[in-house]
Structure 1
Amino acid sequence: MGEIMESAKRSRFLADLSPFDRDPWRTAVALPAGLLAAVVGAALGGAVALVTALVVVSGLDGAPTTGDLFAIFSDPNLAEPSGRQSLFLLTVLAGVNLGAAVGFVFAAGAIHHRKLSGYINGGQPFRWRLLVGGLVLVAIVMSAVVGGSALSGQDIEPPVGRIAPNLAGQAIYASLAISLLILASAAEELLFRGWLLKQTAAYIRNPLALMGLNGLLFAAIHLDPNLDAFLVRMAMGAGLTWMALRLGGIELGIGAHAANNAIIVLLVRPMTAQPDAPHEFKAGLIASALVLLAGFIGVAELSLRWPALRRWTGAQAAAA
């Protein structure tokens, strides 16, 4: 275990940290500059996504259907959106998140004399197969968990089954939803396991401390009013941080993050604009958080230790 922790500490993802990253004054300036760029990026990304979605939908079904899309934002009682409304919401959120993340990281990284690609995998070519590997592995695990819950007696009615009347329509919806969730997940991974991880690692190198801090801030930014859900998101953020440290980049984390969200949206509950309502603390979710953390760590280690998977994805040891 000590050898693995030392390998994570010497991750090649952190090997290019420089005195610019360790300059507290640059970090202090990077935060407001990044936030300003994030606001601009979010506006531009949201506008592009909005126009794209409206052009596509109006071209298919005309103006009346286009007007119905906005009900997902304006109707507070809409608990079960249609397939088009759900995809519309995902498109806008993906555009806003991606624009904000790219804007923030680009501006903050420039102050630290770092290119955007340095926050992905240290400037190396993007490893698409690693992303797909994370997507498939976590989807298999999460699907098994949902299936086990259904077999144990929990009432689970997959939202994807209500979106379209036939298998072809459901497959098209699922494909589009997964694609949009990959973009949204890439935005969060670029910001949290990219910029934030590098910046905190410039001052702290202990992997456990990095996992705890990154998970804490990742959960906090979602503004969930429920402590149990906060702990689950914190565990997820910690597990994704381990992936970035062990694999030397955020590609595996993007796939894993997208798969987690996709299984929830497709099999558990539909995507809506309504915030989560406060509820009583569910102690059982503590076990879920621990299982999620162990699962994400396990996917990272499997990607490194299973020879066939390692060769296919191009995964390499994390040590610099």
Structure 2
Amino acid sequence: MAKRNRRSGNPAVRAQPPSSSPGSSRLAGYDPQLPEALPPDGAPYPQILRGPSYVWWRAMLGVVFGLSLYLLMTSVVTQAVLGISWGVVGAGAPFAEFSRRALAFEIPAGMIAANLGIATLIPICWVLMAIVHQVRPRWLSSVQPRLRWRYLLICAAAAFVVLNAVTLIPLALGSTAVTVAPQAGFWGFLVVIILTSPLQAAAEEIFFRGYLMQALGSLVAHPAFGVVVSALIFALMHGVQNPALFLNRLGFGLLAGVLVWRTGGLEAGIGAHVVNNICAYVIAGLTSSMAAVRGISSVSWLDSGIQLGGFALFAVLALLVARRMRLRTRVDLALGR
């Protein structure tokens, strides 16, 4: 059997079209009639784009387009949804006041608008992969290339247990008692959270830990570059924050990025992100308000450390599960499915 080239950092590696060799024509979903640039055989997830279509300017162009479209489309879609909501439930209030209250998450329409705006990152990533890099969007999911649903659901269950257990620690250390008293409009918010928060969380993972990590990771030979820079952009794009909150978001991005690198896909990050966002807003709605979570711009070093410790514990469990399931962590074109 011929020895497979595993030099994932070498952009000169060319993926060969299907031939008579066993397995090469059975790559998941591959249609030999359609052009497709395949990743280098043996590439880790952050360097999937260092394939036959790789040139450095494609990566830079994709990053610039991606961030620009992120800022543009999230704003356009958010304002469009707010306009429709104002026309339906605005009850004669001025649009400026309705928009202010909505975007502060005082009413459910704002959460719908914000989440659907961020969800546009999913088609943005698909377009960038197909047009800028000439690589099919399925390679965003994992090195297999597909979403490994069983692993995602196991990670979501682990995140639910670990992250909610950690949430109880700062509550237990607080000087005031926590009272369960659902805020006004809680049930409307709950429906919105269940229907749209998974889209919003998955979209952020696909963009920051998926597309940006692959585009930036293709620029250098070591996968860690994409992990670190995408995490830094993730923290910066979340706005004004105090040092403890900035490091909290940076730490989350780094841990999620390492999980993607070491497990070969986005599943663990998506599972944890979805669970974290849903639980954070549900708990807030039952004990304080959605607006209180929306308006957070600072946290204490203690709270930041506790939250990061919880996610680090989840990351260890997710890595152990991935090893137990023997998940593929590098591209293997011969195995296909």
Q: Unaligned stretches of 5+ in structure 2?
A: 1-8, 10-41, 332-337
8 Å CA contact retained: 2:245, 2:297: no
Whether the 8 Å CA contact 2:217–2:227 is kept in 1: the answer is: no
Whether the 8 Å CA contact 2:101–2:110 is kept in 1: the answer is no
DSSP-derived class of the 2:137 partner = coil
SS of the equivalent of 1:254 reads helix
Of 254-263 and 133-142, deviating more is 133-142
**Distance change (3 Å), C-alpha of 1:183 and 1:33:** same
Aligned to 2:135: 114
Q: 1:221 aligns with which of 226, 229, 237?
A: 237
What do residues 12-48 of structure 1 show as CA deviations (whole Å, max 9, x unaligned)? 5356433466422222333444345445643664367
Q: Distance in 2 between matches of 1:50 and 1:131?
A: 32
- Contact 1:26 / 1:112 at 8 angstroms: preserved in 2? yes
Structure 1 residue 265: Cα displacement = 1.4
1:232 aligns with 2:243: no
Please name the residue that 1:4 is paired with.
none
Give the secondary-structure state (helix, strand or coil) at the position aligned to 2:135. coil
User: Cα deviations across residues 111-131 of structure 1 (Å, max 9, x unaligned)?
Assistant: 111222222224733333333
**1:208-250 C-alpha deviation (Å, 9 max, x unpaired):** 5543333222111112331110000011111111221233221
- The one of 290, 298, 304 equivalent to 1:271 is 290
1:90 correspondence with 2:101:
no
Q: Per residue, is there more helix in 1 or in 2?
A: 1
Work out the CA distance in 2 between the residues paired with 1:163 and 1:104.
37
The reply on whether 1:189 has 2:205 as its aligned counterpart is: yes
Secondary structure of 2:290's aligned partner: coil
Distance in 2 between the 1:296 and 1:224 partners? 27
Q: Which residues in structure 2 correspond to 1:195-214 (within 5 Å)?
A: 195-204=211-220, 206=222, 208-214=224-230
Which residue, 146, 150, 166 being the options, matches 1:145? Answer: 166
2:152 is the alignment partner of 1:131: yes
User: For the structure 1 residues 318 and 50, does the alpha-carbon distance in structure 2 shift closer, same or farther, using more than 3 Å as the test?
Assistant: same
Give 1:69 deviation, angstroms: 9.7
Q: 2:305 aligns with which of 279, 283, 287?
A: 287
Q: Deviations over 1:255-274 (max 9, x none)?
A: 21111122221224643399
Match of 1:316 among 318, 327, 331: 327
8 Å contact from structure 2 (residues 217, 225) kept in 1: no
Query: Is the Cα contact below 8 Å between 1:219 and 1:233 reproduced in 2?
Result: yes
AA matched with 1:187: A
Distance 1:263 1:17, change over 3 A: same
The alignment's TM-score, normalised by the length of structure 2, stands at 0.69
Shift of 1:97: 0.9
Q: 1:98 to 1:298 in 2, by over 3 A?
A: same
Rounded Cα–Cα distance in structure 2 between residues aligned with 1:296 and 1:69:
43
State the structure with more CA Rg: 2
- In structure 2, what residue type is equivalent to 1:118? W
- How many residues align structurally? 289
CA positional deviation for 1:96: 0.9
Contact 1:240 1:296 in 2 (8 A): no
1:158·1:267 contact (CA, 8 Å) conserved in 2? no
The 3 A distance-change label for structure 1 pair 173 and 29 is: closer
Q: What is residue 29 of structure 2 aligned with on the other side?
A: none
Letter matched to residue 248 of structure 1: G
Give me the identity figure in percent.
Answer: 19
Aligned partners of 2:143 and 2:330 also within 8 Å: no
Cα distance between partner residues in 2 of 1:146 and 1:217: 26
